[in-house]
């Protein structure tokens, strides 16, 4: 009798699905694991459970056929401004945007705010935005205590590294770096104090150089002031002394890269021009990370969104693998969060499923100049922690005419399309 009971339990357990979700027949691009091949990806308990050439569909509660599509780690946008509020500027202001409105629809699962908050208002940012967002929001903290926006960024007396170091040690899971931006004076105070804070907290620095001055040369920033692992953002900004008189990428940039300085795209509303980006990329000077510099004006200008920026680099000559690497594994490493940006078994199931459409497309830079292209990256499905937040074409859904007559709100649907008890009887 006990044997029969054991056999019955064992049979029942064996018949239960192993995985919560299975993405079948897609082409997986996972730069961390040097993978670019057709693979099935299984998810269980919000984690990557298996990445194999073929996984039996019977082992999953839900199967989505992603044939003809690409499967990659969730995109990491390394430069955004999402400290939204009712003020007039970026920090606690209306020039920032809410993260969930712009992340998942572009395959982004992690956004890194680029110093919108300083040490004096970071706690407000955390409580109002970071803690409430479905998007994973990490942060560079501004060396200016008051944060980003206007005259406060020139206040050298508000650039004390000590409170920033203490804050970074208090929130090590959220604060990933130090930011300095828009400083216009001849002094190196902003950069040097940011580096001191980064050193004290053991986190990298991101620099938006602000005014380009002969008495505070960009060459010195790249070749002397920044440490290996620190980042210069706005790589293709018109003010950057990037090309020499013959149109060649200047040697100091190659020297900076050789010593370990990293370069972030940081498109933004005024920081990307094709006249720099196209020749630089042809010469092999590509960004370490692709980012949007998302804010209220850049999103309606030439930048648009993460997939549009990625598509620009694809059409300028970077390979698809390079574009994905610069949008996933590279930024994860830059902020020392190597649990992100890859599809290794056991990692959080942050996944971007996307298509690469072929046709005639046009892309614009921050001055309105156009680049003709033949490829466009489009986000189809986005999962964060194994939960789906974006489904452009209903790939995970059933046709309406195949559902029970009493079907209700999408939020009450389980993966297999059955109706939850909470919906039954509603009118």
The pLDDT tens digits of the residues spanning 125-165 come to: 999 999 999 999 999 999 999 999 989 999 999 999 999 99
253-282: pLDDT as tens digits: 999 999 999 999 999 999 999 999 999 999
DSSP letters along 87-115, please?
ESSSTTETTS--GGGTSGGGTEEEEEEEE
* CATH number reported for the structural domain that contains residue 232 in this entry: 3.20.20.140
Give CA–CA dist 234/274, Å, rounded. 13
Q: Report if residue 20 sits inside a domain.
A: no
Residue 18 lies in a domain: no
C-alpha span between 100 and 304 (Å, rounded): 15
Q: What percent of the chain has pLDDT over 90?
A: 88
User: DSSP 3-state assignment of 381?
Assistant: strand
pLDDT at 33 over 90: yes
Q: What percent of the chain has pLDDT over 70?
A: 92
Q: What is the pLDDT of residue 14?
A: 53
Domain contains 68: no
Question: Is 69 part of any domain?
Answer: no
Average pLDDT, the chain: 93
Q: What is the pLDDT of residue 398?
A: 84
Global pTM value: 0.93
Residue 93 lies in a domain: yes
pLDDT at 418 over 50: no
Sequence-ordered list of residues with C-beta below 8 angstroms from that of 267, at least 6 positions apart, any chain:
291, 292, 293, 298, 302, 303, 309, 366
In terms of residue numbers, what domain contains 334?
A: 74-342+358-372
Task: Kindly report the number of other CB atoms within 10 A of residue 326's CB atom.
Answer: 25
Asked whether residue 381 is assigned to any structural domain, the reply reads no
**Assigned domain for 7 exists:** no
Question: What's the structural domain count of the chain?
Answer: 1
Residue 400 has pLDDT above 90, yes or no: no
pLDDT of residue 404: 76
Q: Is the pLDDT of residue 25 over 90?
A: yes
In a domain, 51, yes or no: no
Residue 411: the pLDDT is: 41
């Amino acid at each position: 009798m006990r044997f029969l009971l054991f056999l019955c339990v064992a049979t029942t357990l064996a018949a239960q699905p192993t995985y919560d979700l299975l993405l079948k027949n897609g082409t997986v691009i996972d730069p961390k694991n040097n993978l670019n091949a057709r693979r099935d990806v299984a998810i269980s308990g919000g984690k990557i459970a298996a990445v194999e050439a073929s996984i039996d569909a019977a082992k999953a509660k839900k199967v989505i056929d992603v044939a003809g599509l690409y499967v990659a780690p969730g995109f990491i946008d390394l430069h955004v401004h999402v400290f939204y509020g009712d003020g007039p500027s970026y920090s606690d202001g209306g020039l920032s945007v809410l993260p969930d409105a712009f992340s998942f629809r572009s395959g982004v699962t992690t956004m890194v705010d680029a110093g919108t908050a300083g040490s004096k208002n970071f706690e407000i940012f955390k409580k109002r935005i970071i803690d409430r967002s479905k998007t994973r929001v990490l942060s560079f903290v501004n060396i200016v205590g008051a944060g980003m926006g206007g005259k406060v960024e020139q206040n050298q007396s508000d650039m004390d590294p000590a409170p920033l170091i203490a804050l970074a040690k208090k929130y090590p899971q959220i604060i990933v770096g130090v930011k300095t931006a828009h400083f216009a004076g001849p002094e190196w105070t902003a950069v040097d104090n940011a580096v001191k804070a980064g050193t004290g907290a053991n986190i990298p620095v991101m620099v938006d150089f602000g005014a380009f001055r002969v008495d505070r040369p960009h060459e010195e920033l790249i070749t002397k002031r920044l440490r290996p692992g620190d980042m210069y953002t706005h790589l293709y900004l018109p003010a950057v002394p990037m090309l020499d008189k013959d149109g060649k990428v200047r040697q100091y940039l190659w020297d900076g890269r050789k010593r370990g300085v990293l370069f972030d795209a940081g498109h933004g509303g005024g920081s990307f021009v094709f006249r720099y980006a196209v020749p630089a990329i042809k010469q092999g000077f590509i960004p370490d990370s692709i980012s949007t510099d998302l804010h209220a004006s850049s999103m309606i200008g030439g930048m648009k969104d993460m997939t549009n920026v990625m598509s620009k680099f694809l059409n300028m000559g970077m390979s698809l693998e390079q574009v994905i690497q610069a949008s996933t594994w590279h930024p994860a490493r830059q902020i020392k969060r190597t649990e992100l940006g890859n599809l290794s078994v056991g990692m959080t199931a942050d996944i971007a499923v996307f298509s690469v459409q072929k046709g005639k497309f046009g892309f614009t830079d921050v001055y309105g100049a156009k680049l003709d292209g033949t490829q466009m990256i489009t986000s189809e499905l986005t999962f964060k922690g194994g939960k789906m937040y974006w489904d452009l074409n209903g790939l995970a859904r059933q046709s309406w005419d195949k559902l029970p007559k009493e079907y209700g709100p999408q939020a009450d649907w389980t993966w297999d399309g059955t109706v939850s008890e909470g919906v039954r009887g509603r009118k």
